[in-house]
Amino acid sequence: MPTTPNKDYYATLGVKKTASVEEIRKAFRKQARRYHPDVNPGDKRAEEKFKEISEANDVLSDPKKRKVYDQLGFYSDQIDPAQAAAYAQQQGGGGGGRPAVDFDGFDFSGFGGPGHQAGQQAGAGWGSFKDIFSGIFTGAQQGQQPRGPQTGTDLEYQATVDFWTAIRGGLARVQINRHETCPTCHGQAHTGGVTQCPECNGTGQVTQMGGRMKFNIPCPRCNGTGRTSSTCSTCHGEGTVSRSEAVEFRIKAGTRDGQRIRLQGKGNAGVNGGPTGDLYLIVRTGTHPVFTREGDDIHLTVPVTIAEASLGAKVDVPTIDGRAHMKIPPGTQSGQKLRMRERGVENAQHPSQRGDQIVTVEVVVPLLQDERSREIMRELAKLNNQDPRVELFDKM
Ligand SMILES: [Zn+2]
Ligand SMILES: [Zn+2]
């Protein structure tokens, strides 16, 4: 008999074969506290041990899985419990433990050999039979097998749009990396003709041993199709290649910072005729040295003289449409905000609506250079001798 890499889950958890589910769970919890990766950061051995006890617990704490394990000496999701039961019955009835299924002449050389670790490499042989049962090792991972149509994944990029384009609308560009259909194999992931799978001789099935029982499972190399073909060397079997691309897109007038734009079919290419994914752009609007945008409103600070602020004036201020008149009411204070209705940004959803322009007035104090000016200022102070700090003291 060949030795099989069966694991003794009972020994792993340190429980008797007759242990109750409660005892098994308790044993697992105790070991888990000791080997949990959180308590052993970076300890590879503890991590390995934790995986082992988790696997043992997974099987033994589930009555159905445990039954299969008890009957066969191993467990796999691929095994039909009825098959396992039939096997166990035959074992019991046979008396001498003779295998009910003949496995003479079966080639065991592929098991557990050097191919075990290198199993992910194409043609490096098979992993242990446990790997095959657990479905880790599949033909699809080798990229040798034509797969069904797969939709390409969506992409998300931030796209910076300059201040004026976001306000007025227009074309913008963003540089992205996306997967395109491979030009060599046209997304088929393989080249040349399809040939019979050498692993299963085209049957799509291989026979594996579990304990002393034979199981037919889908051939891992060809994924049960019986056919293989050579992997495309351009895309290494991916069916797509990565490419940098400048994508041009149109944005509406009034597009705001953070807005999401969907460009259908500009994501990653699908495989085997699957549709292309979408590209989502998050708009980042650029800044301006004078204007600050908040939603549809434009904010800016406008300096005024003492005379303009105290006497009132009509001044020219910049707006996003160019120069515009703004009325400064008499007695305007520094820091006061004046609203210019509908001088802001057109709303992207409702183009007939516009935001406002909000002007923060900044009174500029003149630097007096001559005696005459200082004389006038002193005279002005005498005529208007209110104390602006009175309120401060009133509140004390
Ligand atoms: Zn290709
Ligand atoms: Zn095959």
Ligand 1 midpoint to CA 237 (Å): 6
Ligand nearest to the CA of 234: 1
Ligand nearest to the CA of 233: 1
pLDDT at 199 (0 to 100):
86
pLDDT at 100: 36
pLDDT confidence of residue 110: 41
**226 C-alpha to ligand 1 centroid (Å):** 21
Question: What is the model's pLDDT at position 92?
Answer: 52
Q: 203 C-alpha to center of ligand 2: Å?
A: 7
Q: Relative to the alpha carbon of 184, which ligand is closest?
A: 1
CA of 385 to the centre of ligand 2 (A): 101
Return the pLDDT at 147: 58
> How many whole angstroms from 240 Cα to the centroid of ligand 2?
24
Q: Residue 273: what pLDDT?
A: 82
Ligand minimally distant from the alpha carbon of residue 240 = 1
Q: Which residues of the chain have pLDDT under 50?
A: 1-4, 93-145
In the reported structure, the alpha carbon of residue 65 is separated from the centroid of ligand 2 by a whole-number distance in angstroms of: 29
Residues 253, 348 contacting (CB under 8 angstroms): yes
Q: What is the pLDDT of residue 88?
A: 67
Expressed in angstroms and rounded, the spacing between residue 185 Cα and the centre of ligand 1 is 4
Expressed in angstroms and rounded, the spacing between residue 194 Cα and the centre of ligand 2 is: 12
C-alpha 182 to ligand 2 mean position (Å): 25
Ligand lying closest to the C-alpha of residue 202: 2
213 Cα–ligand 2 center, Å: 21
Kindly give the distance from the C-alpha atom of residue 223 to the centroid of ligand 1, in angstroms, as a whole number: 19
Tell me, in angstroms, the distance from the centre of ligand 2 to residue 139's CA: 8
Measure 142 CA to ligand 1 centroid, in angstroms: 14
Q: Is 240 exposed, middle or buried (0-12, 13-18, 19+ CB in 10 A)?
A: buried
Whole-number pLDDT of residue 3: 37
CA of 241 from ligand 1 middle (Å) equals: 8
* HEC sequence for the chain: CCCCCCCCHHHHHCCCCCCCHHHHHHHHHHHHHHHCCCCCCCCHHHHHHHHHHHHHHHHHCCHHHHHHHHHHCCCCCCCCHHHHHHHHHHHHHHCCCCCCCCCCCCCCCCCCCHHHCCCCCCCCCCCCHHHHHCCCCCHHHHCCCCCCCECCCCEEEEEEECHHHHHHCEEEEEEEEEEEECCCCCCCCEEEEEEECCCCCCCCEEEEEECCEEEEEECCCCCCCCEEEEECCCCCCCCEEEEEEEEEEEECCCCCCCCEEEECCCCCCCECCCCCCCEEEEEEECCCCCCEEECCEEEEEEEEEHHHHHHCEEEEEEECCEEEEEEECCCCCCCCEEEECCCCCECCCCCCCECCEEEEEEEECCCCCCHHHHHHHHHHHHHCCCCCCHHHHHCC
